[in-house]
Amino acid sequence: SRQRYVLGDTAMQKMAQSHVFLSGIGGLGVEIAKNIVLAGVKALTVHDTKQCTKWDLGINFFIHEDDITGQRNRAEATLHRIAELNPYVHVAASTVPLDETTDLSFLKQYQCVILTEVSLLLQKKINDFCHAQQPPIKFISADVYGICSRLFCDLGDEFEVLDTTGEEPKEIFISNITQSNPGIVTCLENHPHRLETGQFLTFREINGMSCLNGSTHQITVVSPYSFSIGDTSDMEPYLHGGIAVQVKTPKIFYFERLEKQITNPLCLVADFSKPEAPLQIHVAMLALNHFQENFGRRPNIGCLQDAEEMLKIAMSISETLENKPQVNGDVVKWLSRTAQGFLAPLAAAVGGFASQEVLKAVTGKFSPLQQWLYIDMLDIVTPLEKMESEEFLPRGDRYDALRACIGDSLCQKLQDLNVFLVGCGAIGCEMLKNLALLGVGTGQDKGLVTITDPDLIEKSNLNRQFLFRPHHIQKPKSYTAAEATLNINPYLKIDSYINKVCPATENTYSDEFYTKQDVIVTALDNVEARRYIDSRCVANLRPLIDSGTMGTKGHTEVIVPHLTESYNSHRDPPEEEIPFCTLKSFPAAIEHTIQWARDKFESSFSHKPSLFNKFWQTYLSAEEVLQRIKSGESLEGCFHVIKTLSRRPRSWTQCVELARVKFEKYFSHKALQLLHSFPLDTRLKDGSLFWQSPKRPPFPVKFEFNDPLHYDFIVSAAKLFATVYCVPFTEKDLSEEAILKIISAVKVPDFRPSNKVVQTDETARKPDHIPVSSEDERNAIFQLEKSILSNEALENDLQMKPISFEKDDDSNGHIDFITAASNLRAKMYNIEPADRFKTKRIAGKIIPAIATATAAVSGLVALELIKVVGGYPADAYKNCFLNLAIPIMVFTETAEVRRTEIRNGISFTIWDRWTIYGKEDFTLLDFINAVREKYGIEPTMVVQGVKMLYVPVMPGHIKRLKLTMQKLVKPSADKKYVDLTVSFAPETDGEEDLPGPPVRYYFVQEDN
């Protein structure tokens, strides 16, 4: 279901009818196979003619040691493991030779052909065949050689895409349209339109210039808040209101064959600091292909003669290309040196990208790659220059392919590494696969992978969390992931936990724990947890690599002590909250009605029942409560609790009646009350209409039993009321006949207008509690007496069963209630309704997800991990942002850490920490003097977390100078130190205090 939110149903259906052929089940081929089977094509044929070797264990996560001893073919060995990923996909293996003499007509049964590990001559031949078919067979080829990778796409002469971005069509509220040529449309203030020139919009709900309603116009952007739409000078003058909705228009993409593209390549530039790099790698990889054709092999590892030969070939190839690009000797040399090797994380990155191109090819959804992508790891080569060539030679183990790229010393460092991976979801599973292939945590004496995740496996995880299978549902993610990772590399040492990483678990994940880790990798789905872990990494000077995805978008960020800024150094703008008055009275979009319904669910079925239970746990009987309020005591929350008790439904009939009364209150009386408070002709002080865009006047909804939406609300609300009030019901109770019988007899209260003030201020927040009047209190006494007298305040009556919202269980009725309530409110305000699927995404705050982006992102993280382990300088690290839909991939250098000047040349960065060693009778004054003596500047303020230890202007704080640090801080017995924040007097009076770095104060001198 998470992938449906990325691709949409039409694309999913097209994909489920497509047949795909994939040749070459090495490290890259198996990545592509995994991703497209998880996505759900109809059928995949995996083709390979090679036997499994020891080498494959370090690059192919589905090949095991017994496949080598059994001398199995790679396609046959991996077939059932690939097929197991998705029971809806038919996976077949083919082992027949595919060469220059093969009759290619067998390919006509496929919609898409993917080639890996195929010679360039054969690639051209197959591409020509595919391109010539009607309709053309979509052709994709991809390869990883050492530290360079290549991806090529040809989807035929003309390829139509119905949705180029996959983004939701924008809706823009209009504040004005001029009568002019061209007419200028202005949006509501503070709401930029974010449109681009050339896009199309359609209009609705415009008052005045109504001939625009239903018409479509191509726009030209004038400013962030306005755009022009053509001649409006002869139209009626604009009065108010109106919404402009973006119209998605199909786009044709044009492709050339491989033969032609080789000489004049169209490349996607991923690193704008090296725009020339794609062409340089293009030439180097062509030279490698020619070398293979000439010598029947790849260049030997570290062989200078082969590198020279390849450089000559590159020079002559460059002359045949249209732009005659300059040959980069270093790129050619390093490609030659490492061409026999294979970097598994690079295959994960390019494999994720290539798989998305396959999905585009068979669905027509998103913009295809035109036509080449080159991703490289040339950033790592500088320190490798100094290594002896023996470092790169094979040793006959599973890491030979990796060793050929990065040398044995770096392989050893990876094996001895301690890694803490936080999160075993989609990125976590992919990361574990990368760590296993790199041999991380497999050292004989050193090395350990620690993982944690508090979640259990859900069915909706299976489309991208590839270590899990249907029989794992409801098992802990971390234990299951650990077990599955050992199938990839049985030598991995792995500790798995099921804790959250947060302040409450600092006993487990203590400073001591962090200092044992060499690197922390986060695979999280929320900002709060990232911020916390980042702060722990900064406090303990540990490198952190963070990443995340949302649909086809992904990011990676590498944080290295003393070199880069940290995650907390930059802040994303906070999510815009919907104003309280908009939710309560003036919704303008379906998101507002869904949030309203979600809030109603929370208050009726979770919050109120919880408060009810809490109240009756505090006061043990109704008689006690009655006595206390009669004697004038004010018991918090008692009015609402007594009201709930007196109205408590005690039968299924009463639950249905309650749902019917709620329908009237929410969808009829609410509208009548608003129109009573603000009649349709109400005007503001400036003379403008109160009810104008974005405010929409409500109209009462008349209950119709035969309207499915009305019926759904009654049934879903009644079922939830029955659950919280512990009322049993049967299948028979749910029959239309039974419900109709109850509904027909309900006496619905008439509407009585009240003089309640309706909040219209958008900045006003929801009030914490509404005061209770003396009349309400008297009423409460009367109601409680009545309940006691009628024996309706017994022990069972004083309990409710709160419901926790769960979006993924379709049988619990939670999403049914929210969909019905939201769409009824939308109907009342004349807002376009949303189907159950969209409602579930918004109400459940579901993050769309797909395996392709997850695989690509985790591959890029693992490449950065190699650099961190190698202790590379700051300019080697790269952060990445990608969106596979458009497609873009942008690498940027990490932000250099900022140095903060205090004064007199004293400065610090976020990675600096001052230390002071005290003793038992050390006072606060001693601490302040010690900081001054050691660091040359006297603190004027000392803070511990949120607790102010010493602020001179605070009453009584001067006396604290004589107190011991032990007494002030009150450490627990096992605490050896405390982290404090100090600040310093400004240079001139009136300015703010100057912040300093954290100061770690040790209670006693450490033994060195």
**Residues taking part in catalysis:** 581
DSSP state of 236: P
Assign 3-state DSSP to the chain and report helix, strand, coil percentages, each to 5. 40, 20, 40
Q: Which residues pair with 246 in a beta bridge?
A: 201
What is the side-by-side order of every strand in the sheet holding 184-187?
A: 216-218, 200-207, 240-247, 171-177, 184-187, 226-228, 220-223
Cα separation of 37 and 88, whole Å? Answer: 9
Long-range contacts of 840-843 (CB under 8 A, 24+ apart): 840/1, 840/807, 840/815, 841/5, 842/590, 842/591, 842/594, 842/595, 843/594, 843/595, 843/597, 843/598, 843/807, 843/815, 843/818
Cα separation of 837 and 843, whole Å? Answer: 10
Q: Which residues of 930-968 are buried (b: 16+ CB within 10 A; e: fewer)?
A: bbeeebebebbbbebeeeebbeeeeeebeebeeebbeeb
Cα separation of 37 and 27, whole Å? Answer: 16
Cα separation of 345 and 865, whole Å? Answer: 10
- Peptide bond connecting 182 to the previous residue in cis, omega within 30 degrees of 0: yes
Burial zone of 240 (CB within 10 Å; 0-12 exposed, 13-18 middle, 19+ buried): middle
**Is the distance from CB of 140 to CB of 361 less than 8 angstroms?**
yes
In three-state form (DSSP H/G/I as H, E/B as E, the rest C), the secondary structure along 467-484 is CCCHHHCCCEHHHHHHHH
> Residue with structure tokens 């043990």?
620
Cα separation of 54 and 69, whole Å? Answer: 9
**Strand duo 90-94 + 240-247: pairing:** unpaired
- Beta-strand ranges (E) seen in 71-168 are 90-94, 112-115, 138-145, 148-154, 158-161
**Is the distance from CB of 155 to CB of 138 less than 8 angstroms?**
yes
Torsion of the alpha carbons at 59, 63, 65 and 66, rounded to the nearest 10: -160
HSE at residue 179, side-chain half, CA atoms within 13 A, is: 11
Q: Which helix (H) or strand (E) holds 171?
A: strand 171-177
Cα separation of 346 and 414, whole Å? Answer: 16
Please list the alpha-helical segments (H only) found in 416-526: 426-438, 477-488, 511-516
Cα separation of 29 and 350, whole Å? Answer: 11
Cα separation of 421 and 429, whole Å? Answer: 10
Task: For Cα atoms 501, 505, 507, give the angle at the middle one, nearest 5 degrees.
Answer: 130
